[in-house]
Amino acid sequence: MIACEQVGFDYGTRAIVAGVSLEVGAGELCAVVGPNGAGKTTLVRILAGLLPAARGRVRVGDLDPATAPRREVARRLAYVPQLYELAFPFTVAEVVLMGRYAHRGGLGLEDDADLAAAHDAMRRCDVDDLEGRRFDTLSGGEQRRALLAQAFCQGAATIILDEPTAALDPAHAHAVMAALRATCADRGAAALVVTHDLNLAARWTDRVIVMARGAVAAAGPATEVLAAPATAAAFGVPLHVGTLPGGAAFVVPA
């Protein structure tokens, strides 16, 4: 669904992303973790085609996202940036329906298919009772769930989220991850989530990719990767990894 090979990007002479290769297939939910400044956001912006890679190849479905028409990319890939600030007082329903842009012409009103997609997405993200609220009056957690609904509403097979749970309390963070997990399982979506929450990554994702200094330091199933010495080295702090009764891993700085 989304793949990249030996991708690199520089700011001036400093390499921000260097030689990263990864692949996320249908039905898979992957996390990208790593310390601040590791190049996580730059990497996902390259994957979304918003930043052209200086080196390497990126594929989203059958397209190169940096050169393909944005409308075609948007039908295959939904990307929710870390910061989302609206300049006008749009409602939640209007924000979610913006996800239908790639499916319609310039001026027309949404049709039944658009509205059905929006309502389905809002229900899955538990924001259907907020549809008439102004987006700018929502709490941080509600805004994040509305943006996830916009991404779902886009109907793309690949979803990239940059820190979708950063502002959320534990219950809503888990709700967002559960909705994402269900979308991967039920609809065969491929999802890539940038997060600082290692426990959330351990609990919900199939694979964890650890980035450090622009490169992949470790990658694989959460339990193995979080216990790997390379991961502790990447974060610069020893990590204690345990196993919960259900089998999921948890991790705390040791």
Query: Which residues of this chain interact with other proteins, rule CB under 8 A?
Result: 45, 48-50, 69-71, 73-75, 77-81, 84-95, 97-99, 101-102, 104, 106-107, 109-110, 131-134, 136-137, 150, 154
- β-strand 207-212 against 29-33: which pairing, if any? parallel
User: Nearest distance from residue 69's CB to other proteins, in Å?
Assistant: 7
How are strands ordered across the β-sheet holding 29-33? Answer: 77-80, 158-162, 190-194, 29-33, 207-212, 215-220
| Residue number with CB closer to other proteins (102 or 233) | 102
* Alpha carbon distance 190, 107 (integer Å): 31
Q: Token pair of 114, please?
A: 């658009």
Which position has the token pair 């329903």?
93
User: Nearest distance from residue 57's CB to other proteins, in Å?
Assistant: 20
| Residue number with CB closer to other proteins (117 or 234) | 117
User: Nearest distance from residue 142's CB to other proteins, in Å?
Assistant: 12
User: Nearest distance from residue 228's CB to other proteins, in Å?
Assistant: 33
* Alpha carbon distance 243, 131 (integer Å): 40
Contacts of 68 (CB under 8 A, 6+ apart): 49, 60
| 200 to 22, 84, 251: CA distances (angstroms) | 21, 22, 10
Which position has the token pair 């991708």?
7
Q: Token pair of 148, please?
A: 């996830």
Secondary structure of residue 221 in the 3-state scheme: coil
User: Nearest distance from residue 125's CB to other proteins, in Å?
Assistant: 15
| Residue number with CB closer to other proteins (106 or 245) | 106
| Residue number with CB closer to other proteins (147 or 211) | 147
* Alpha carbon distance 59, 87 (integer Å): 32
Contact 231, 210 (CB under 8 A): yes
| Residue number with CB closer to other proteins (48 or 175) | 48
* Cα dihedral 145, 149, 150, 151 in deg (nearest 10): 100
User: Nearest distance from residue 231's CB to other proteins, in Å?
Assistant: 30
| Residue number with CB closer to other proteins (45 or 203) | 45
User: Nearest distance from residue 107's CB to other proteins, in Å?
Assistant: 5
| Residue number with CB closer to other proteins (81 or 220) | 81
